[in-house]
Homo-oligomer: A and B are copies of this chain.
Protein backbone atom coordinates (compact mmCIF):
# COMPACT_ATOMS: atom_id res chain seq x y z
CA UNK A 1 0.00 0.00 0.00
CA UNK A 2 1.22 3.51 -0.80
CA UNK A 3 2.11 5.52 2.27
CA UNK A 4 -0.05 8.44 1.11
CA UNK A 5 -3.09 6.15 0.90
CA UNK A 6 -2.34 4.74 4.33
CA UNK A 7 -2.03 8.24 5.83
CA UNK A 8 -5.53 9.03 4.60
CA UNK A 9 -7.04 5.81 5.87
CA UNK A 10 -5.41 6.18 9.29
CA UNK A 11 -6.12 9.90 9.46
CA UNK A 12 -2.41 10.60 10.08
CA UNK A 13 -0.25 13.53 9.00
CA UNK A 14 2.20 12.44 6.29
CA UNK A 15 5.77 13.78 6.49
CA UNK A 16 8.15 12.83 3.67
CA UNK A 17 7.76 10.76 0.53
CA UNK A 18 4.15 9.53 0.25
CA UNK A 19 4.82 7.55 -2.95
CA UNK A 20 6.75 4.72 -1.30
CA UNK A 21 5.10 1.35 -0.84
CA UNK A 22 4.86 -0.47 2.49
CA UNK A 23 4.07 -4.17 2.53
CA UNK A 24 4.30 -5.28 6.14
CA UNK A 25 4.35 -4.05 9.70
CA UNK A 26 7.40 -5.17 11.64
CA UNK A 27 9.00 -4.61 15.03
CA UNK A 28 11.92 -2.16 14.87
CA UNK A 29 14.63 -4.79 15.49
CA UNK A 30 13.36 -7.02 12.64
CA UNK A 31 12.36 -4.37 10.09
CA UNK A 32 13.51 -4.63 6.48
CA UNK A 33 12.87 -2.89 3.16
CA UNK A 34 9.15 -2.26 2.64
CA UNK A 35 8.33 -2.49 6.35
CA UNK A 36 6.38 0.08 8.32
CA UNK A 37 7.43 0.30 11.97
CA UNK A 38 5.99 1.91 15.07
CA UNK A 39 8.14 4.05 17.35
CA UNK A 40 6.53 4.81 20.68
CA UNK A 41 9.40 6.62 22.25
CA UNK A 42 11.83 9.20 20.84
CA UNK A 43 14.63 7.24 22.61
CA UNK A 44 14.17 4.66 19.84
CA UNK A 45 14.85 7.17 17.04
CA UNK A 46 18.54 6.19 16.69
CA UNK A 47 17.45 2.53 16.26
CA UNK A 48 14.94 3.70 13.67
CA UNK A 49 17.61 5.55 11.71
CA UNK A 50 19.84 2.48 11.83
CA UNK A 51 17.06 0.17 10.65
CA UNK A 52 16.04 -0.71 7.11
CA UNK A 53 12.42 0.23 7.75
CA UNK A 54 10.80 2.16 4.90
CA UNK A 55 8.48 4.29 7.02
CA UNK A 56 7.41 4.94 10.58
CA UNK A 57 4.29 5.67 12.63
CA UNK A 58 5.22 8.13 15.39
CA UNK A 59 3.70 10.62 17.78
CA UNK A 60 2.74 14.05 16.42
CA UNK A 61 5.41 16.42 17.73
CA UNK A 62 8.22 13.89 18.04
CA UNK A 63 11.67 14.92 16.70
CA UNK A 64 12.07 14.76 12.91
CA UNK A 65 13.65 11.72 11.33
CA UNK A 66 15.05 10.91 7.90
CA UNK A 67 12.34 8.36 7.04
CA UNK A 68 8.87 9.06 5.72
CA UNK A 69 6.55 9.26 8.71
CA UNK A 70 2.87 9.02 9.63
CA UNK A 71 2.25 11.26 12.65
CA UNK A 72 -0.72 10.75 14.95
CA UNK A 73 -1.84 12.01 18.33
CA UNK A 74 -2.48 8.42 19.36
CA UNK A 75 0.21 6.60 17.38
CA UNK A 76 -0.45 3.22 19.04
CA UNK A 77 -4.09 3.33 17.94
CA UNK A 78 -2.94 4.29 14.43
CA UNK A 79 -0.54 1.35 14.47
CA UNK A 80 -3.32 -1.05 15.50
CA UNK A 81 -5.58 0.36 12.79
CA UNK A 82 -2.76 -0.21 10.30
CA UNK A 83 -2.52 -3.82 11.51
CA UNK A 84 -6.25 -4.22 10.87
CA UNK A 85 -5.79 -2.84 7.34
CA UNK A 86 -2.83 -5.05 6.47
CA UNK A 87 -3.93 -8.33 8.02
CA UNK A 88 -7.45 -9.51 7.43
CA UNK A 89 -8.01 -12.82 9.19
CA UNK A 90 -8.16 -15.65 6.66
CA UNK A 91 -11.64 -17.10 6.40
CA UNK A 92 -11.79 -20.75 5.43
CA UNK A 93 -14.16 -21.63 2.58
CA UNK A 94 -17.61 -22.37 3.98
CA UNK A 95 -18.65 -26.00 4.09
CA UNK A 96 -18.19 -29.12 6.14
CA UNK A 97 -14.94 -31.02 5.72
CA UNK A 98 -15.82 -34.58 4.71
CA UNK A 99 -13.78 -36.05 7.57
CA UNK A 100 -15.95 -34.27 10.15
CA UNK A 101 -18.77 -36.00 11.98
CA UNK A 102 -21.88 -33.81 11.96
CA UNK A 103 -24.69 -35.77 13.60
CA UNK A 104 -28.21 -35.74 12.28
CA UNK A 105 -30.32 -32.94 13.59
CA UNK A 106 -27.48 -30.41 13.79
CA UNK A 107 -28.45 -27.19 12.01
CA UNK A 108 -25.76 -25.11 10.36
CA UNK A 109 -26.64 -21.63 9.02
CA UNK A 110 -25.25 -20.23 5.77
CA UNK A 111 -21.52 -19.84 5.33
CA UNK A 112 -20.57 -21.98 8.28
CA UNK A 113 -17.18 -23.67 7.91
CA UNK A 114 -16.41 -26.91 9.77
CA UNK A 115 -12.77 -28.04 9.67
CA UNK A 116 -11.39 -31.57 9.38
CA UNK A 117 -12.11 -34.20 12.04
CA UNK A 118 -14.50 -32.01 14.04
CA UNK A 119 -17.48 -33.52 15.85
CA UNK A 120 -20.84 -31.72 15.95
CA UNK A 121 -23.42 -33.65 17.97
CA UNK A 122 -27.18 -33.83 17.47
CA UNK A 123 -29.31 -30.79 18.15
CA UNK A 124 -26.48 -28.28 17.74
CA UNK A 125 -27.26 -25.02 15.95
CA UNK A 126 -24.50 -22.83 14.51
CA UNK A 127 -25.15 -19.28 13.28
CA UNK A 128 -24.23 -17.66 10.01
CA UNK A 129 -20.58 -17.39 9.11
CA UNK A 130 -19.21 -19.12 12.17
CA UNK A 131 -15.95 -21.04 11.77
CA UNK A 132 -15.42 -24.32 13.61
CA UNK A 133 -11.77 -25.39 13.49
CA UNK A 134 -10.27 -28.82 12.99
CA UNK A 135 -10.81 -31.42 15.73
CA UNK A 136 -13.29 -29.24 17.63
CA UNK A 137 -16.01 -31.00 19.65
CA UNK A 138 -19.47 -29.46 20.08
CA UNK A 139 -21.79 -31.41 22.39
CA UNK A 140 -25.46 -32.18 22.04
CA UNK A 141 -27.86 -29.28 21.94
CA UNK A 142 -25.26 -26.49 22.00
CA UNK A 143 -26.26 -23.19 20.41
CA UNK A 144 -23.46 -21.24 18.75
CA UNK A 145 -24.26 -17.76 17.38
CA UNK A 146 -23.17 -16.03 14.18
CA UNK A 147 -19.68 -14.89 13.32
CA UNK A 148 -18.03 -17.06 15.98
CA UNK A 149 -14.59 -18.62 15.69
CA UNK A 150 -13.75 -21.83 17.52
CA UNK A 151 -10.07 -22.56 16.94
CA UNK A 152 -8.86 -26.14 16.46
CA UNK A 153 -9.25 -28.57 19.39
CA UNK A 154 -11.76 -26.45 21.30
CA UNK A 155 -14.15 -28.62 23.31
CA UNK A 156 -17.72 -27.56 24.14
CA UNK A 157 -19.80 -29.94 26.26
CA UNK A 158 -23.55 -30.45 25.81
CA UNK A 159 -26.09 -27.67 26.26
CA UNK A 160 -23.72 -24.69 26.17
CA UNK A 161 -25.02 -21.41 24.70
CA UNK A 162 -22.65 -19.08 22.89
CA UNK A 163 -23.61 -15.66 21.50
CA UNK A 164 -22.44 -13.89 18.34
CA UNK A 165 -18.87 -12.98 17.40
CA UNK A 166 -17.39 -15.11 20.19
CA UNK A 167 -13.80 -16.33 19.74
CA UNK A 168 -12.50 -19.34 21.65
CA UNK A 169 -8.88 -20.46 21.39
CA UNK A 170 -7.51 -23.97 21.16
CA UNK A 171 -7.52 -26.42 24.04
CA UNK A 172 -10.24 -24.58 25.93
CA UNK A 173 -12.95 -26.64 27.62
CA UNK A 174 -16.40 -25.11 28.09
CA UNK A 175 -19.02 -26.91 30.16
CA UNK A 176 -16.99 -29.46 32.09
CA UNK A 177 -18.54 -30.53 35.40
CA UNK A 178 -18.33 -28.18 38.35
CA UNK A 179 -16.23 -29.39 41.28
CA UNK A 180 -18.90 -30.30 43.83
CA UNK A 181 -19.08 -33.15 46.34
CA UNK A 182 -21.01 -33.80 49.52
CA UNK A 183 -20.83 -36.28 52.37
CA UNK A 184 -23.90 -38.52 52.47
CA UNK A 185 -25.49 -39.95 55.63
CA UNK A 186 -22.84 -42.68 55.71
CA UNK A 187 -20.01 -40.16 55.45
CA UNK A 188 -19.15 -41.15 51.88
CA UNK A 189 -18.26 -38.40 49.48
CA UNK A 190 -20.81 -38.29 46.68
CA UNK A 191 -20.70 -36.25 43.50
CA UNK A 192 -23.24 -33.44 43.21
CA UNK A 193 -24.67 -33.79 39.70
CA UNK A 194 -23.66 -30.80 37.60
CA UNK A 195 -26.66 -30.38 35.36
CA UNK A 196 -26.65 -26.63 34.68
CA UNK A 197 -25.36 -24.82 31.62
CA UNK A 198 -22.76 -22.29 30.48
CA UNK A 199 -23.88 -19.11 28.73
CA UNK A 200 -21.29 -17.03 26.89
CA UNK A 201 -22.62 -13.74 25.58
CA UNK A 202 -21.72 -11.75 22.46
CA UNK A 203 -18.21 -10.50 21.68
CA UNK A 204 -16.48 -12.55 24.36
CA UNK A 205 -12.99 -13.84 23.62
CA UNK A 206 -11.55 -16.76 25.59
CA UNK A 207 -7.88 -17.77 25.38
CA UNK A 208 -6.21 -21.17 25.09
CA UNK A 209 -6.48 -24.05 27.60
CA UNK A 210 -9.08 -22.20 29.67
CA UNK A 211 -11.70 -24.14 31.66
CA UNK A 212 -15.26 -22.90 32.23
CA UNK A 213 -17.34 -25.29 34.33
CA UNK A 214 -21.08 -25.77 33.87
CA UNK A 215 -23.37 -24.76 36.74
CA UNK A 216 -24.72 -27.24 39.27
CA UNK A 217 -28.16 -25.92 38.32
CA UNK A 218 -28.81 -22.69 36.45
CA UNK A 219 -25.93 -21.22 34.48
CA UNK A 220 -22.31 -20.18 34.64
CA UNK A 221 -22.35 -16.95 32.66
CA UNK A 222 -19.81 -14.71 30.94
CA UNK A 223 -21.35 -11.43 29.88
CA UNK A 224 -20.79 -9.50 26.69
CA UNK A 225 -17.45 -8.16 25.62
CA UNK A 226 -15.42 -9.84 28.34
CA UNK A 227 -11.90 -11.06 27.47
CA UNK A 228 -10.25 -14.02 29.17
CA UNK A 229 -6.57 -14.92 28.80
CA UNK A 230 -5.00 -18.41 28.69
CA UNK A 231 -5.15 -21.06 31.43
CA UNK A 232 -7.90 -19.38 33.46
CA UNK A 233 -10.31 -21.39 35.61
CA UNK A 234 -13.96 -20.28 35.87
CA UNK A 235 -15.84 -22.50 38.33
CA UNK A 236 -19.51 -23.51 38.39
CA UNK A 237 -22.20 -20.87 38.81
CA UNK A 238 -19.74 -17.98 38.43
CA UNK A 239 -21.12 -14.87 36.74
CA UNK A 240 -18.51 -12.66 35.06
CA UNK A 241 -19.84 -9.21 34.13
CA UNK A 242 -19.49 -7.31 30.85
CA UNK A 243 -16.29 -5.78 29.45
CA UNK A 244 -14.23 -7.45 32.11
CA UNK A 245 -10.65 -8.61 31.57
CA UNK A 246 -9.13 -11.68 33.26
CA UNK A 247 -5.41 -12.36 32.80
CA UNK A 248 -3.69 -15.74 32.59
CA UNK A 249 -3.65 -18.39 35.31
CA UNK A 250 -6.36 -16.72 37.40
CA UNK A 251 -8.91 -18.88 39.19
CA UNK A 252 -12.47 -17.86 40.07
CA UNK A 253 -14.13 -20.18 42.61
CA UNK A 254 -17.72 -21.35 42.60
CA UNK A 255 -20.69 -18.94 42.67
CA UNK A 256 -18.54 -15.79 42.58
CA UNK A 257 -20.21 -12.78 40.97
CA UNK A 258 -17.88 -10.38 39.16
CA UNK A 259 -19.09 -6.97 37.98
CA UNK A 260 -18.60 -5.04 34.75
CA UNK A 261 -15.32 -3.48 33.61
CA UNK A 262 -13.34 -5.41 36.22
CA UNK A 263 -9.65 -6.18 35.68
CA UNK A 264 -8.09 -9.27 37.21
CA UNK A 265 -4.33 -9.40 36.64
CA UNK A 266 -2.45 -12.69 36.28
CA UNK A 267 -2.55 -15.56 38.79
CA UNK A 268 -5.33 -13.94 40.82
CA UNK A 269 -7.45 -16.21 43.03
CA UNK A 270 -10.97 -15.47 44.26
CA UNK A 271 -12.65 -17.56 46.98
CA UNK A 272 -16.11 -18.93 46.44
CA UNK A 273 -19.45 -17.21 47.01
CA UNK A 274 -18.26 -13.60 47.11
CA UNK A 275 -19.22 -10.55 45.05
CA UNK A 276 -16.74 -8.34 43.20
CA UNK A 277 -18.32 -4.98 42.27
CA UNK A 278 -17.97 -3.03 39.03
CA UNK A 279 -14.74 -1.32 37.96
CA UNK A 280 -12.65 -3.28 40.43
CA UNK A 281 -8.93 -3.87 39.78
CA UNK A 282 -7.22 -6.85 41.38
CA UNK A 283 -3.41 -6.89 41.13
CA UNK A 284 -1.32 -9.85 40.01
CA UNK A 285 -1.15 -12.86 42.37
CA UNK A 286 -3.70 -11.31 44.73
CA UNK A 287 -5.98 -13.62 46.70
CA UNK A 288 -9.42 -12.12 47.25
CA UNK A 289 -11.10 -13.56 50.33
CA UNK A 290 -13.94 -11.07 50.85
CA UNK A 291 -16.48 -9.27 48.67
CA UNK A 292 -15.20 -6.02 47.16
CA UNK A 293 -17.27 -2.86 46.58
CA UNK A 294 -17.27 -1.25 43.15
CA UNK A 295 -14.17 0.74 42.31
CA UNK A 296 -11.87 -1.16 44.68
CA UNK A 297 -8.20 -1.52 43.79
CA UNK A 298 -6.64 -4.36 45.74
CA UNK A 299 -3.36 -6.24 46.00
CA UNK A 300 -1.83 -8.98 48.12
CA UNK A 301 -2.87 -12.33 49.52
CA UNK A 302 -5.14 -11.85 51.38
CA UNK A 303 -6.00 -8.85 49.20
CA UNK A 304 -6.23 -5.37 50.75
CA UNK A 305 -6.57 -1.88 49.24
CA UNK A 306 -3.47 -1.24 47.18
CA UNK A 307 -2.25 1.66 49.33
CA UNK A 308 -2.50 -0.49 52.44
CA UNK A 309 -0.58 -3.22 50.62
CA UNK A 310 2.16 -0.87 49.49
CA UNK A 311 2.51 0.59 52.98
CA UNK A 312 2.68 -2.92 54.45
CA UNK A 313 5.31 -4.03 51.97
CA UNK A 314 7.42 -0.94 52.68
CA UNK A 315 7.06 -1.47 56.42
CA UNK A 316 8.01 -5.14 56.17
CA UNK A 317 11.15 -4.18 54.25
CA UNK A 318 12.03 -1.90 57.19
CA UNK A 319 11.42 -4.62 59.76
CA UNK A 320 15.05 -5.68 60.21
CA UNK A 321 15.88 -2.02 60.91
CA UNK A 322 12.94 -1.84 63.31
CA UNK A 323 14.40 -4.76 65.25
CA UNK A 324 17.68 -2.87 65.57
CA UNK A 325 15.87 0.26 66.74
CA UNK A 326 14.04 -1.77 69.35
CA UNK A 327 17.28 -3.19 70.71
CA UNK A 328 18.75 0.30 70.92
CA UNK A 329 15.65 1.61 72.67
CA UNK A 330 15.80 -1.16 75.24
CA UNK A 331 19.44 -0.33 75.93
CA UNK A 332 18.64 3.34 76.43
CA UNK A 333 15.71 2.45 78.66
CA UNK A 334 17.86 0.20 80.82
CA UNK A 335 20.43 2.98 81.19
CA UNK A 336 17.77 5.46 82.18
CA UNK A 337 16.23 3.04 84.62
CA UNK A 338 19.59 2.39 86.16
CA UNK A 339 20.30 6.12 86.37
CA UNK A 340 16.96 6.95 87.94
CA UNK A 341 16.94 3.83 90.14
CA UNK A 342 20.47 4.35 91.46
CA UNK A 343 19.76 7.97 92.21
CA UNK A 344 16.71 6.85 94.11
CA UNK A 345 18.71 4.33 96.12
CA UNK A 346 21.33 6.94 96.96
CA UNK A 347 18.57 9.29 97.99
CA UNK A 348 17.02 6.62 100.18
CA UNK A 349 20.25 5.92 102.05
CA UNK A 350 21.66 9.47 102.28
CA UNK A 351 18.60 11.58 102.93
CA UNK A 352 14.89 11.29 103.60
CA UNK A 353 13.16 9.47 100.74
CA UNK A 354 11.33 11.96 98.56
CA UNK A 355 7.76 10.99 97.80
CA UNK A 356 8.32 11.39 94.10
CA UNK A 357 10.38 8.20 93.94
CA UNK A 358 7.50 5.80 93.96
CA UNK A 359 9.26 2.48 93.87
CA UNK A 360 6.22 0.55 92.82
CA UNK A 361 5.62 2.57 89.70
CA UNK A 362 9.22 2.47 88.50
CA UNK A 363 9.61 -1.27 88.95
CA UNK A 364 6.29 -2.09 87.34
CA UNK A 365 7.49 -1.69 83.81
CA UNK A 366 10.70 -3.62 84.18
CA UNK A 367 11.47 -6.65 82.10
CA UNK A 368 11.05 -9.91 83.97
Contacts and interface: CB of A to CB of B under 8 A. Distances in A.
Interface of A: 25-27, 29-30, 74, 76-77, 80, 83-84, 86-87, 89, 97, 99, 101, 115-117, 119, 133-135, 137, 139, 151-153, 155, 157, 167, 169-173, 176-177, 179, 181-182, 184-185, 189-193, 195, 205, 207-211, 213, 215-219, 225, 227, 229-231, 233, 235, 237, 243, 245, 247-249, 251, 253, 266-267, 269, 271, 284-285, 287, 289, 301-302, 304, 308, 311-313, 315-320, 322-323, 325-326, 328-340, 342-347, 350, 354-358, 361-367
A318 B312 CA distance: 8
Given A137-B170, A331-B364, A336-B340, 8 more contacts: A76-B182, A77-B182, A80-B192, A101-B116, A253-B266, A269-B284, A322-B326, A332-B337
A356 B339 contact: yes
B315 A311 contact: no
Contacts of A345: 356
B173 A209 contact: yes
Nearest to A29: B218
Contacts of A329: 326, 329-330, 333
Contacts of A323: 315, 318, 322
B335 A365 contact: yes
Residue of A99, A192, A346, A365 most packed against chain B (CB within 10 A): A365
